[in-house]
Amino acid sequence: MSEHRGAGSSGGRRVTRKQLLDGLRDVAALEHAHCVYYLRLHYSLGGDPPEGGDPRPAPVQDAAQVASQLAQSDMFHLKDVNRILVRAGRDPALDRAARATSATGRAIDLQPMTAAQFRDFPKREKALAAAVDSAYARLRSALSTPTPPLTGELLDELRFVLDMVAVEGSDHTSKVLGLAQTLAGLTPAEYLLVTGVAPADELDRRLLALSDEFYGSLLAILGQQFADVGGLGPPLREQAVSRMEDMHKVNGMLGLRGLLPPFTTFN
């Protein structure tokens, strides 16, 4: 795992190509962390609706869906950022930030959420989303000079990716505020339905290991997919989708047993 170091920060000096790409790599690590955070939250909120009716309060059902959508959006951001990195000559970036730094300089730990941490919801989540958006903003600022560190089609493509995240409603902060509004009025005890992390028996241990095995395998496939500059071919895309579905099924089984998926491989 890595620590977000202020992607694209240059202290007012012109940013070099290396600094820009290093900043973009840091953004990828933050996106990966944000994605996993909201996948965990999705499963904490009870995951997908069970067959035969959903006993959860409607706001919790809605919040679980919103958390899943947030994670999916982050996955697309991660793919877009990696496409730029690879086309700029870098290796795919699949590292995951262990912590981020808020606007006030306070460290934001990105370990699995607990009921105690959620007493401050959505303060922590807003700070994390703002840290991701600020990292994108610094990269946009680095491109606003008369002589940006990238040129041509690569510059245009990066600007397009950065501008998409800057649109109000598409930024991370707006989406988190929407999630907070969905859960307004509920306590963590009412919406955090799955919070276990310690296995109770051998079956739990095997399911946790299988979930993590699928996660690690998915990252390996994504690394190959992102490196395929020619357009992310269908065979790799199909493998990635299949592995995500396998992981999701196992994570659903873990949820029924009161356990969160670990997402520890490759950290």
More confident residue, 183 or 231: 183
Per DSSP, the three-state class of 166 is helix
User: Taking 90 as the threshold, does the pLDDT of residue 93 lie above it?
Assistant: yes
Q: What is the mean pLDDT of residues 183-194?
A: 90
pLDDT at 267: 41
Q: What is the mean pLDDT of residues 172-201?
A: 91
pLDDT at 189: 86
- What does the DSSP assignment read for 218-263? HHHHHHHHHH-TTT--HHHHHHHHHHHHHHHHHHHHHHHTTB----
pLDDT at 166: 84
User: Taking 50 as the threshold, does the pLDDT of residue 8 lie above it?
Assistant: no
Give tens-digit pLDDT for 66-87: 999 999 999 999 999 999 999 9
pLDDT at 109: 79
Q: What percentage of the chain carries pLDDT values higher than 90?
A: 64
Q: What is the mean pLDDT of residues 103-126?
A: 77
pLDDT band at 41 (very low <50, low <70, confident <90, very high): very high
Is residue 92 within 8 A of residue 86, CB to CB? The reply is: yes
In the chain, domain spans = 2-194, 196-267
Is residue 46 within 8 A of residue 67, CB to CB? The reply is: no
Is 1.20.1260 the CATH number for 2-194? yes
pTM to 2 decimals? 0.90
Mean confidence (pLDDT) of the chain? 88
